[in-house]
Each structure stands twice: as structure tokens, then as C-alpha cells.
Structure 1
Amino acid sequence: MTDAAALPGQPRGGVIDGTGTARAVCVLAPNASPMTLDGTNTWIVAEPDSPLAVVIDPGPLDEGHLRHVIDVVERAGRRPALTLLTHGHPDHAEGAARFAELTGTSVRALDPALRLGDEGLSAGDVITTGGLELRVVPTPGHTADSLSFHLPADAAVLTGDTVLGRGTTVVAHPDGRLGEYLDSLRRLRSLAVDDGVHTVLPGHGPVLDDAQGAIEYYLAHRAKRLAQVETAVENGHRTASRVVAHVYADVDRSLWPAAELSVRAQLEYLEERGLM
């Protein structure tokens, strides 16, 4: 979900196939919408001289897109060796089983229901396929199963829907929780401040070249929205739908159902802390 015009480090324009870093290349899925921005970013990640590639978020169940991803991998002289999922939303994960069938790869995810093969993913895992190093970073909040992948060699992090390339994301209540989401943003900020990560490779929208600035913006935006929701409740707007109409009046109405999920997460957060 997007409800802001721009983020620090955001280039002008949309996502282009081939965008990325020395080790990560984006293939854009043809599923653009108000909720998915330009479409889902499928990421192909590999060491420059390796014959093996890791594919992150194959995207929707779109045969043309899945085969295009395979073609991009093969034209680079590689083969898909592993499929990873940042989370289970259909625009990221629905095509994973078919992609695995086409490529003979396993699918690793935090949610056991999404896995194909013997291995899942958990905090602290380090993936070394083809000499590549990807570190698994737990980033719940958008969803309970959300993960990010730290790519140290490129000083980059693949964030799925936790940080988008344009606008801000929805906290998908009840699965998503605001407290966890804020903790996840702080964890990503630590990667930027302490580990030198400067590039965000998001699940939607363009690459961001100021990771710390983008994450600081997200934290400030969440604090602002939370204060607005708290004020709305104090002024008598007691239901999520009424809060949305009051606080998200500047957001396109087509996004209000998604905004209501975030508001429900904010109301729950305030209630848990005795603030309402």
C-alpha cells in the first residue's frame, strides 16, 4: 500500500527489468495495481562467476512471467538452484510451486505451508548457494512470516513488502502487528547504521540507494500516523472505518480497505499499551 509521494533515495520513474546491484537483478511481474505499484519485483541473485542463481519471490501464478524469469537466468549462463520467499502473499508466492516444478528447485520460506523440500528458513540462517551469501533477517509486521535477506557483498537488503520502493506498506492485521513491524524497521535500521547497508531492493517499486534515510522515513511516518489515529480516537472516531475516513482522507479511496487493516493494527497497538 502506498500513501506517500516519495522516499529518500528514490529515483524518478518506475521499475525497469535489470535494475539492481552487481549480484541482484529485478524481473518485474506484469501485475501492476494500486496495491502492487508497478508489479511484483522478482529478484535473481547470484555471484558474478557462479553458474547457480537464487530466485526470490517468483511472484503471481503467471506462466509468462515465470518462464521469463527462467529465460533471464539462463541467458546469463546460469540455472535456478533455489527459490526463496519473503512472505506468503499471493503476489509474491502464488507462482512458487509452479516455478519449482519448471526448474526443479526447492522452495524455502518461513511458513511451512509454503515450503517445497526439506528445509525452511529461520532467523540467522546463511544461504551460500553458488558461493552467494544471503543472511536471513526476520522482519515480521507486514505479515507474521515476513523475512528480509541481507546481501552483504552488495551492501544491500531485499525487503519484500517490509520497505517498498515507493510509498509505505500496509500492516496486514490481524496477521500483521504494528509492534513487530516497528521492531523490524529498527532491525533494518541497524543493518544500515552498523553493517553498512545502503541499498534497499524492495518487493515493489524502484531500488532505494539511501537505506537509512528510507527506514528513518518509515519510522517517522508510522509515528505520525499513530499519533493521528490516537487523536482521532480521542475525538470520538471509535471504529476503524471512521478512523480511516478521518486520518486517510488524503489517500485514494481504493486503498482505504488496506488502510483499514493498518488502522486495526494501530488500534490494537494502542490498546495493548493502555493508550485507549
Structure 2
Amino acid sequence: MRLLIEQVSNIRLRPSLQEVHRGDTRLKPNVAPQAGARRGTSAAIAIACSAAPVWVRFNPSCIGTNMKRKPANRFASVKALALFVFISLAVDMVRAQSVNNPPEVQAAFEATAARVRNLDDGTLKVGDVIFGDRSLTIRFQPSAGASREKAAKKVAAQMANWAGSLCSHDGMPAFLRRTGARFITTFETAPGTYEQVREVSAAFCDGVSSTRIIDGKPLYPKPTYETAIGVIKAHLKGSLLDYDSAKLECSEVSAPVWIKLPLEPRRYGYVVECDINAKNAFGGYAGYQRRWYYFNGENFQELINEPRAGLVDQ
């Protein structure tokens, strides 16, 4: 060990003046001629290189010894990129392949996927369509620059109507019962996180078998008075300054009606008319104010102005 230390201490990393005069500017270790190893011999160089620290390894005189510096892999990043692209393409190919669904089911799924893929209305868009075992999952996302909260409300309302329309389509409930197929919609509540919005299956359609379709739009069963009032009270709790002191007088749930709001198409559902007297910011009652509440399935809306409305033919 002492011999190695003495020899390593004599290593220099630049040529001497004599070597520069001779034109020999190669970097070579200068090993003292000890232990029978003459200066510049392969034995002396091997001893010096084997004991040299890491920062000496670039010395060309060490080439051929066990301290040879491994050349850097200049193509490592290129190989990594190529591997990533290959894996991505492989995943896309696997996902694009049809799962082992019966031809009738797969044909229905592909037709649905073709209609919804790449839809984007500025608030809500379809991010992906996934084929599964007798299931088709449609993943919704907020459009670029759109509010996630606004998109979530929109997908809930649209999927409620879509589910009712799907179950009311001729032959769809029978198809779902016969094949066990399911149509599932999800929404991206956070980046990369999806929650189910609606699942249309045979059991779901059996529960909405009384839904009517008018002008291509669903009219769901009439809600009970208790259900409607419960929804209205839950809404008022979040909008009034002092809900506990509010006075509420509401009518019965109307018969099926159509209503027309400005700049909106005609819609169908049920209306509850309420008179509300609530306290203002000064602690006094502001007086009764009339509001109208629209219901249709899971669709609910408070209307400040009286809408144009008419009864639906039974």
C-alpha cells in the first residue's frame, strides 16, 4: 500500500518542459522507479492507474488498464424516447382492439362511440371512449378553459336526459336485458380522476319504463310533493341569508307541462309555484316573493320570472 501511495503521489497531469520541447504533449503518469518498475514502463503505469482516484481516469496512458474509463452512452436518451414511443403505440393498439363482445353488442358500442367521439361544445367534451366486457364507458372532461364546476353540472343534466332517451328507444330495454350490455358515463372531477355519472343497464331502464318521449325529449315520472318540497328547501338553505326564519308557501306539483324560457328551446316537466318571505340583511322580512321551480327527473331549476307554459296532452 505504501508503494502505491508513493507512486500515485508522483502522478502529474500535464507534460514536462522536456516533453513539450520534444513535441510529446501526451498526458502520462510520472511514476518513480521503485520496486523494480522503471519510469514509463507498462508495469509502473498499471500500478499508478490502478491506485489513481476517479478524476485521473481520463489520462490516455491508463488505456488498457483495469481503470479504463467507459465511454458515455450518447444514445441513451434516444433509446429511452424510442422505447416510450413504442410502448405508447403498443398501448394504443391494444386499446383499439375490440374486446371479446358478441357481434351485436360490439356493433352497438361502435355506433355509439362513433357518434360521441371528439364531441366538444366549449364547456364539455368527450376525452375518451373505452370498450370493456359488455360495457362502453364514455369519459367526459371540461373543455379547454372551461370551469370544471360548470362542466360537472352540465354533464349531470345532459346524462340524465340521455339515459332517459336511451331507455325509451324502441328495443333498447330488450337489447340490454338480452345481452347484459351497459353504457357508462364518467366525468373527470380532478386531473386523471373520474367518477361515474350515469350507468344505463336493463335494471336502470326497468326503473324508468314510464318515461315519455315528446319531440325527442324525455318526460320523466311526476315527483311526489314531499320530494319536490325537499329539493326546494335544500336549494333555499344555500341561497337565503336566514333560512330558519323563512316562510314558505308552495302549490302542489303541476300536471305535465311544457315551458318556454327566452332564447331557450321548449322543455317538458313539472312546475311548483312558491311564495317565499325571508329576512334581509337588516333582519327584517322583505315580503313575499314568488318563485317557480322546474322539475324533470334529476333536472331542477329555480325561475325568477314566470315562464310561458302549457299543459302537455295526456
Give the structure-2-normalised TM-score. Answer: 0.25
CA radius of gyration, larger in: 2
Q: TM-score, normalised by structure 1?
A: 0.28
Select the structure with the greater relative contact order (CA < 8 A; seq sep ≥ 6).
1
Q: Whose strand proportion is higher, 1 or 2?
A: 2
